[in-house]
Amino acid sequence: MVNLEILFGVLPALILFLYGIEHFSDEIKNLAGDKFRELIGKLTKNPVRGVFLGAFVTSIIQSSTATTVITVSLVNSGIISFTNSLGIIFGSNIGTTITAQLIALKLTSFAPVFIVIGFLITFFSKKHKIIGKPFFYFGLVFYALALVSAAVEPIKSDPAMIELFSNLSNIPLAVIVGFVFTSVVQSSSVTTGLIIVLTQNGLIDLRAGIPLLLGANIGTSTTAVLASLGLNLYARRAGIANLMFNIVGSLLLIPFIDIFIYFIKNLGGTPASQMANAHMIFNIITAIIFLFLIKQFTKLINKMVPGEEDEILFETKYLTENLPENNAEALKLIKAELKYSIDITILLYKQTVNMFKRPKKAGFAKLEKLESLNDYLDEKIEKAILTVSHRKLSKNEAKKTVILVQISNAIEQLGDLGEDLGKISFEMFESGKDMSYESIEAVDTINKKFKATLLILKENLPYVAKKMHNKIKGSEEEILNLINKKYEEHIERLQEENDYKGGTFVESISIIESSVSKMREIRKLCEKFTKLKT
């Protein structure tokens, strides 16, 4: 009967704790808004800085799961690279130890105060509601733990429960229990909170608690792995990296667990604070080890999740936040970035035709990302040109900035046409329709000539000398003649074949024809740029 009472005392309190953690995390993310993602995206160039960022963000939102899932999604969207994500992953485990420290400090005593303050702010001030809710849920988290603590009090005198917890001194069993429980509740904070409460009540010691914490670390990684399934190669690697970081870290500690326990005990403190210290120190040491071995760890993950996929990152290749003071140097970087934007456009058209040949969802996701990157580069280039235009410029320099903006816009519009071409292949994929082999080959042939011409234009951008002008112009005419020839063949097939349906084919080459016109526009802008005196 006692066991049943304990169950109905602990279970609702754990549910309340889980509910509080989840909503507290959501409210903090809502409070931060888009800046939350931007912060992670910008501050990860250095892995050490990434560790501090991961620890800081997780300590605020009280959820390493939320941090790692967001990190995986940022890798998938190209905001940060897989390599740069590792620091955040290492740091997120440190951040989540703050929960254990707060519980060990008996913050549960102040939980009602936070609940009341949060409620009053939310109830009496709609304007400050967004601030009141995090206060409320923060208090709810620790109030729920106080309920857990009260509910487990009878366990001290229950022989069956004492026997159950004594079995947790078996390290592999304790790791498994921590892993399974955390995987079910999807929150290591819930597990660590419960472990600290059990320690405060004298039900488990360091030898049982530390393996439970190791299992909790591994269990919380399952969410990021599940979130990464179906995403791109680098997002999947980030998900597996999070899992392997926790598994390998745990395996490194287990042979030295007695030495580690001896070290923690010598630091002093109450049993609960010792458990919280063990949790924090282990995660800090593990993060430091992995920072030193980050190259080797990256190679291991690359082997575990193999693949040959371009990592598309939303970042400029040449432009920086601070442009050179010298106008000529600044314009040189802008020109280089324009060439890079054409490289991305060429990749976009290549991917589009690949989708006609071998359509698959991951390929369409890459296509969409390339088009978005094309827009992103246009925005950054225009911003850089605007910065230069506000300086003291010569008449020719001022004219050049105007033309460069026009060229950047034209490249962006060229990318939009490539996306339109991709939409045709996607609609065919979704509807289960297909294009004849001959039609796909024709689109591929025309597209290859278009890309080759665009590449020549890119190599000379933004200067087009007369000799190069004639070569590009001649290539444009060849492509248009080829398109006209394909139009004529299409008409003949319509007349001769009753079952021939070439609507998508005509639509496809029509878009490429528009793309050639846009390329011609870029060439003419380059000619105007070339005529300006240096």
Q: Shortest CA distance to 455 belongs to which of 375, 363, 347?
A: 347
DSSP string, 340-388: HHHHHHHHHHHHHHHHHHS--HHHHHHHHHHHHHHHHHHHHHHHHHHHH
The residue range of the domain holding 215 is 2-155+165-304
Residues 475 and 336 in one domain: yes
Residue 280 lies in a domain: yes
Q: Alpha-carbon distance 99 to 17, whole Å?
A: 12
Using CA atoms, how far apart are residues 407 and 409, in angstroms rounded to an integer? Answer: 5
H or E element that contains 31: helix 2-32
Are 298 and 415 in the same domain?
A: no
Asked whether 330 and 400 are in contact (CB, 8 A), the reply is no
Report yes or no on 413 lying in a domain. yes
- 309: in domain: no
Could you write out the three-class secondary structure of 481-507? HHHHHHHHHHHHHHHHCCCCCCHHHHH
Q: How far does Cα 470 stand from its chain's mean position?
A: 45
Query: Given pLDDT bands bounded at 50, 70 and 90, which one contains residue 484?
Result: confident
Neighbouring residues of 492: CB distance < 8 A, sequence distance ≥ 6 = none
CATH of the domain at 423: 1.20.58.220
Domain boundary among 273, 304, 335: 304
Q: Tell me how many domains the chain contains.
A: 2
| 496-505 pLDDT tens trace | 666 656 677 7
Kindly state whether residues 248 and 344 are assigned to the same domain.
Answer: no
Query: Same domain, yes or no, for 447 and 367?
Result: yes
129 lies in the same domain as 270: yes
283: which residues sit within 8 A by CB, 6+ positions away?
93, 94, 96, 97, 217, 249
Which residues, at least 6 apart from 425, have a Cβ–Cβ distance to it below 8 Å?
A: 352, 355, 356, 359, 364
Maximum mean pLDDT: which of 24-28, 452-456, 462-466, 529-533: 452-456
Average pLDDT over residues 139-152: 62
- Please state, in angstroms and as integers, the Cα–Cα distance from residue 4 to each residue in 12, 149, 294, 402, 425, following that order: 13, 16, 48, 77, 60
User: Considering the domain boundaries, does residue 310 fall inside one?
Assistant: no
What is the SS3 string spanning 183-215?
HHHCCHHHHHHHHHHHHHCCCCCHHHHHHHHHH
Tell me the average pLDDT of the chain: 78
The pLDDT, as a whole number, for residue 244 is 92
- Residues 96 and 245 grouped into a single domain: yes
Distance CA 220, CA 24 (A): 17
Q: Are residues 336 and 294 in the same domain?
A: no
- Determine, yes or no, domain membership for 314: no
pLDDT in tens, 428-479: 777 767 777 777 888 888 888 888 888 888 887 888 777 777 888 888 888 8
411 & 509 share domain: yes
Residues 10 and 82 both lie in one domain: yes
Domain assignment of residue 317, yes or no: no
Residue 286 lies in a domain: yes
Same domain, 109 and 193: yes
Q: Which token pair is 329?
A: 């140097």
Please state whether the predicted TM-score (pTM) of the whole model is above 0.75: no
d(CA 101, CA 252): 23
Q: Cβ of 458: how many Cβ atoms within 10 Å? A: 18
Residue 396 burial by CB count (10 A; 0-12/13-18/19+): exposed, middle or buried? exposed
Same domain, 278 and 389: no
Least confident residue range of 4-8, 112-116, 407-411, 414-418: 4-8
Q: Is residue 271 part of a domain?
A: yes
